[in-house]
Amino acid sequence: MASRPTNQLSSGLGAFVYRLFVTIVELMIVRSKPRRVLEAEPIALRHQIAVLQRTSTRPELTDIDRGVIAGLARVIPRRVRHGFIVTPDTLLAWHRRLAAARWVYPQRRPGRPRVVRDREQLVVRFAAENPTWGYRRIHGELAGLGHRLAPSTVWSILKRHGIDSAPRRTGPTWTQFLTAQARGIIACDTFVVDTVGLRQLHVLSFIEHATRRVHLAGITCRPTGSWCTRAARNLAMNLNVDRFRFLIRDNATLFVTAFDEIFTTNQLDVTHTPPGAPRANATAERFVRTARTGLLDRTLIWNERQLRVLLVEYLDHYNGHRPHRGINQNSPTSVDQEPAEPVPIDRIRRQRILGGLINEYHHAA
């Protein structure tokens, strides 16, 4: 119980000392010389800095902070510098580092400058797309495009990406082999369309494996070997079949000997698919299914003339706009073109074809 009077006595004594200190300061500074009020402010700031130096951690200074402190230290007398948060040794160290940076010139790293990333990606692209090219062949191709690189630089880029700098002697991959062969293959197939009056119309079509371009050869309600041969002859005259190497067809009775001779005389090898094996002519069969699901199963066919008009319009869409997974989502007419630039959403317009059965989207002109 005796501690409470003692605490009260100490607190009362502290309050008395504080009031006495405030009275003395007012008498000495404020009332005697009002000008000294301005001198009291730096005293308070210095004391606060001293308190912060005892309680805070090391401050984080920027180059601007160092410059300001060092500049003010040159004009402030030495006797009042005790309020600085840095020591004189620190100021001298800053000055030495500034002088060293002023008189040291930047130096370039030894050796050749690093190749820009675009050229490095171009070298890797050439090597991936042309596995039989060595680093010398890639260097020549780059030189023809105006990119000046040393052969040793091309060699080091290939090594850095784990690519053999010498031509590969094991031959192309299966993907490359089949892609090259596809450019020389054309396939044909026939399919039947039932009209409203249950009359059957036979359609003969050809499809190029490399581009997926489809050609309509003929439509008839009386399929015979002579009709099929005549349709193939008209196609060969307009298509320039000399650029193909193989023709794939099934064993339908429409494909008579005269039909094959049209292509063999143009140096094509006619390949017959095995009986009951539609996958052997999968590309042509896939088009038939696409035509049925996209057009024929969604409309009524009245006669041969209407079917021809619809198929011609559908093939314009199929060859000129519809994307195909087998050719990287390109259309047959744009398979060798550069990818299109993104179109702003507000400039996309819809175009209805085939009476609204199919929509095409284009950018506004």
Residues 285, 267 within the same domain: yes
325 shares a domain with 187: yes
Within a domain: 79: yes
pTM of the prediction? 0.56
Q: Does a structural domain hold residue 218?
A: yes
Q: What's the domain range around 207?
A: 179-336
pLDDT of residue 21 exceeding 70, the answer is no
pLDDT digits (tens, 9 = 90+) for 79-100: 655 556 666 677 677 667 766 7
Whether 95 is covered by a domain: the verdict is: no
**In this structure, what token pair is assigned to residue 278?**
């539609």
> Rounded mean pLDDT of 310-339?
86
For 221-245, the pLDDT digits (tens) are 999 999 999 999 999 988 888 889 9
**Residue 99 token pair:** 């002088």
Q: Does 206 lie in the same domain as 167?
A: no
Considering its fold, how many domains does the chain have in total?
3
pLDDT in tens, 140-163: 888 887 777 888 888 888 888 888
Q: Could you tell me if residue 21 is inside a domain?
A: no
Pick from 137, 171, 205: which residue ends a domain? Answer: 171
What pLDDT band is residue 9 in, cutting at 50, 70 and 90?
very low
Segment of 2-11, 67-76, 127-136, 348-357 carrying the highest mean pLDDT: 348-357
Q: Has residue 103 been placed in a domain?
A: no
State phi, psi for 166 to the nearest 5 degrees.
-95, 155
Q: How many residues does the chain have?
A: 365
pLDDT greater than 60 at residue 207: yes
Residues 154 and 206 in one domain: no
Closest CA to 122 of 109, 134, 139: 139
**191 φ, ψ (degrees, to nearest 5):** -145, 160
Instruction: Say whether both 207 and 134 belong to one domain.
Output: no
Residue 358: inside a domain, yes or no? no
At residue 145, φ and ψ (nearest 5 deg) are -95, 0
Clarify whether residues 274 and 167 are in a common domain: no
Helix, strand, coil percentages, rounded to 5, for the chain: 55, 15, 30
17 inside domain: no
CATH number at residue 300: 3.30.420.10
